[in-house]
Amino acid sequence: MQIIELHASVTESNDRDADALRAELKKRGVLLLNLMSSPGSGKTMLISRVIRDLQGQVRTAVLEADIASDTDARRIESLGAMSVQVHTDGMCHMDAGMTARGLAAMDLDGVGLAFLENVGNLICPAEFDTGAAKNVMILSVPEGDDKPLKYPLMFQTSDALVITKTDAMPYFTFDLDKAVLRARNLNPEIRIFPLSAKTGEGMDEFERWLLAELAAWRKNG
């Protein structure tokens, strides 16, 4: 019996596609951020808040990835931002080729921040380079502070961790210090932003980070 291992060749090809997409976006001055999380963590609400808060400062585009539906894309468009919905046909993640095809459907001229709202999943998205400049993992308070213990790769591959729904902390057993410590044990360099997109608490620091990363991305382009 012959056994063929495909995972390495598939990911190597994807890595090449990701590097090419990153280089193209850098030339255009577009900072692409790959947002990864469980379903219901608040990715769309976070993006919506950023769009509203930074309106007039930076043009934003959003690539919404879901197995089905266009609910999130319609919500983003209602805020005046450009959005394209991508259906993954049952796949649990986005890769670089899929991301490139989705972005190709947008007019990125003048866009500064581009968000990829990846499929809600804490396993597969961490394994595939999408071509994003930064990976951002979102953990909501209702999910619990033990997620770094259960899904270490997601935290290890992320540049930033956004802890959302902090306004709900009085109603859930969530130890912020434990969550931060567990994340930093896996990734000492990870930036951590506890915030509430609903109330706006903590959004300023996250948005300053976004704008600083965009400025550095364009400066080094």
- Please report, in tens digits, the pLDDT of each residue of the chain (221 residues total): 344 344 455 678 899 999 999 999 999 999 999 999 999 999 999 999 999 999 999 999 999 987 677 778 888 889 888 998 888 776 788 999 999 999 999 999 999 999 999 998 999 999 999 999 999 999 999 999 999 999 999 999 999 999 999 999 999 999 999 999 999 999 999 999 999 999 999 999 999 999 999 999 999 76
145 within some domain:
no
116 within some domain:
yes
204 within some domain:
yes
Domain total for the chain? 1
Give burial (CB, 10 Å; 0-12/13-18/19+) of 219.
exposed
74 within some domain:
yes
Q: Which two three-digit tokens encode residue 194?
A: 């506890």
86 within some domain:
yes
The per-residue pLDDT for 86 is 85
Range of the domain at 56: 12-137+200-219
The per-residue pLDDT for 91 is 75
144 within some domain:
no
Other CB atoms within 10 A of residue 210 CB: 24
Q: What is the pTM of this model?
A: 0.92
Q: Identify any residues that bridge with 66 across adjacent strands, giving them in sequence order.
A: 87
Q: Which two three-digit tokens encode residue 105?
A: 């459907």
Query: Closest Cα partner for 43 from 131, 165, 138?
Result: 138
3 within some domain:
no
The per-residue pLDDT for 6 is 41
CA-based max dimension of the chain: 62
The DSSP bridge pattern shows strands 111-117 and 82-87 to be unpaired
CATH assignment of the domain containing 97:
3.40.50.300
The per-residue pLDDT for 5 is 43
Q: Which two three-digit tokens encode residue 17?
A: 């596609």
The per-residue pLDDT for 221 is 63
